[in-house]
Amino acid sequence: MTTLDDARRLDTADPLAGFRERFALPDSVIYLDGNSLGALPKATSGRVEAVVQSEWGEDLIRAWNTRDWISAPKRLGDKIARLIGAAPGEVIAGESTSVNIFKALCACLQLTPERSVILSETGNFPTDAYMMEGLAALSGGRIRQVLVERDAIDAALTDDVAALLLTHTHYKSGQLHDMKAVTARAQALGIPVIWDLSHSAGAMPVALNDCEADFAVGCGYKYLNGGPGAPAFLFVAKRHQDRVFPVLSGWLGHARPFDFDDRYEPAAGIDRFQCGTPAILGMAALECGVDILLDADMQEIRIKSQALGDLFIEQVEDRLDGFELRSPRAAGERGSQVSFAHEHGYAIMQALIERGVIGDFRAPDILRFGFTPLYAGYADVWTAVDILADVMQSGVWQDARFNIRSAVT
Ligand SMILES: Cc1ncc(COP(=O)(O)O)c(C=O)c1O
Ligand SMILES: Nc1c(O)cccc1C(=O)C[C@H](N)C(=O)O
């Protein structure tokens, strides 16, 4: 079994160790929740302050030109593209993931106008399914949402399916889909696929164009470290861009927004998927997070993320009873997180958080731990399990205060 000294030796040899310095993390915390809200890059506060004071404060409206605010969604999109195997001009930053899902679903319906089923998986992070429901309602009955279990997806790929929407890394279990194989199977039947990369982008190499992906979306506030409510992103493969009339046809997706025409004419390329004015402060913060990732080697991130997950599983299973692994044991089959089920999961997680180990709880019984290789180390993981063992052995988690549910878990 790995000892604390072994874990420290692994940290010393870690090629990514230097990245931790670029994050402002409290010393008292072991942060294992970067899969929900990434940590604060040290550069972000100064950058946002500069945008507020100098760009907004001094340049005022001129900053759209002088500071090139107007290009931020595309500039940032091009940077994110490098993290997810896309080409320049295929990714636009902005909106929330939910809104981008809606845009991508509508685009799929335009590519397959005679089809009526939008297909996804049960048990996924619910916003994906909720956005489908809204679209089905808007269609007045023409479009039908179908949700099936993972092992029934292949059988559900039929010639009336207009879009397949899947989350690449499952938010609860961390289980991965085989993006290339699933995309190929769906496309063989003329079905475009939308990949939700919320738990993959910045956590592992993603190869959208190598998989010939159609559409993808993802969050800016998880592994991209863009901060709470950061702009999300939308990928549209070049071959589809000019075939789609954007349904959210806001003025900044117009070919010439400053002509102020009465009629909408979509811009060429990815620009047409912009809608309204970009959130410049959020973009500035997101760029700080993305810039750190661009300095790192994504293969090294993946290697370390798998090793941290393996270490965590080894320690929990060696030292604790009553915890059932709910993530794939094989590191190649899971993203950058590990989940264990425990019947008292909520209270245990609250007790753990009080002791400075921050993971999260997902109903009904999952303790979820995310591993962010740029700022979490081997000794952190070892110590987190040591504290968990203490929480269990002391029985502190049984205290009534740990059973008071908060609004956000
Ligand atoms: C898989 C997945 N998709 C979408 C979202 C939500 O995205 P947003 O809140 O940006 O709409 C989340 C997490 O919040 C998620 O885990
Ligand atoms: N977006 C969140 C929020 O605004 C508050 C609390 C949590 C979140 C999340 O991102 C949840 C996350 N997608 C999950 O995988 O559970």
Distance (angstroms) between ligand 1 centre and the Cα of 106 equals 18
Parts of the chain belonging to CATH 3.40.640.10? 68-295
CA distances from 284 to 23, 71, 218, 266, 273 (A): 16, 12, 18, 26, 20
- ipTM for this prediction: 0.97
Q: 362, 339 in Cβ contact below 8 A? A: yes
- The angle formed by the CA atoms of residues 64, 50 and 232, to the nearest 5 degrees, is 65
CB 120 less than 6 A from any atom of ligand 1? no
Please indicate whether residue 196 is annotated as part of the active site.
Answer: yes
| Tokens read off for 20 | 């931790």
CB 350 less than 6 A from any atom of ligand 1? no
Distance (angstroms) between ligand 1 centre and the Cα of 98 equals 7
Select which of 23, 102, 171, 221 is catalytic.
Answer: 221
Please indicate whether residue 291 is annotated as part of the active site.
Answer: no
Residues of the chain with pLDDT under 50: none
Please indicate whether residue 125 is annotated as part of the active site.
Answer: yes
Q: Which ligand is closest to the CA of 94, given by its number?
A: 1
**Element spanning 79, H or E:** helix 72-83
CB 223 less than 6 A from any atom of ligand 2? no
pTM (global) more than 0.95: yes
Q: What is the DSSP string of 169-233?
A: B-TTT-BBP-HHHHHHHHHHTT--EEEE-TTTBTTB---TTTTT--EEEE-SSSTT---TT---E
C-alpha to C-alpha distance for 5 and 337, rounded to whole angstroms: 23
pLDDT of amino acid 403: 86
Distance (angstroms) between ligand 1 centre and the Cα of 198 equals 6
| Tokens read off for 4 | 């604390």
Q: 233, 220 in Cβ contact below 8 A? A: yes
Q: 68-295 is classed in which CATH architecture?
A: 3-Layer(aba) Sandwich (3.40)
pLDDT of amino acid 334: 98
CB 1 less than 6 A from any atom of ligand 2? no
CB 350 less than 6 A from any atom of ligand 2? no
- The angle formed by the CA atoms of residues 208, 359 and 341, to the nearest 5 degrees, is 90
3-state secondary structure of 71: helix
- Classify domain 4-42+297-403 at the CATH class level: alpha beta
Ligand 2 atom nearest the C-alpha of 172 is: 15
Please indicate whether residue 386 is annotated as part of the active site.
Answer: no
3-state secondary structure of 139: coil
Which has the closest alpha carbon to 337: 374, 365, 317, 312? 312
CB 198 less than 6 A from any atom of ligand 1? yes
**Element spanning 368, H or E:** strand 366-370
Q: Which ligand is closest to the CA of 36, given by its number?
A: 2
C-alpha to C-alpha distance for 166 and 149, rounded to whole angstroms: 11
Distance (angstroms) between ligand 1 centre and the Cα of 34 equals 13
Select which of 22, 67, 304, 368 is catalytic.
Answer: 368
Select which of 33, 78, 196, 380 is catalytic.
Answer: 196
C-alpha to C-alpha distance for 296 and 316, rounded to whole angstroms: 29
Q: 224, 293 in Cβ contact below 8 A? A: yes
C-alpha to C-alpha distance for 174 and 176, rounded to whole angstroms: 6
3-state secondary structure of 156: helix
3-state secondary structure of 360: strand
Select which of 125, 160, 238, 319 is catalytic.
Answer: 125
pLDDT of amino acid 404: 86
pLDDT of amino acid 405: 86
Which has the closest alpha carbon to 82: 296, 255, 274, 260? 296
Annotated binding site for pyridoxal 5'-phosphate: 97-98, 125-128, 167, 196, 199, 221, 251, 277
Please indicate whether residue 142 is annotated as part of the active site.
Answer: no
Q: Is the dihedral of CA 250, 109, 172, 307 positive or negative?
A: negative
pLDDT of amino acid 148: 98
Distance (angstroms) between ligand 2 centre and the Cα of 36 equals 5
Parts of the chain belonging to CATH 3.90.1150.10? 4-42+297-403
Q: What are phi and psi of 139, to 5 degrees?
A: -75, -5
pLDDT of amino acid 272: 98
3-state secondary structure of 327: coil
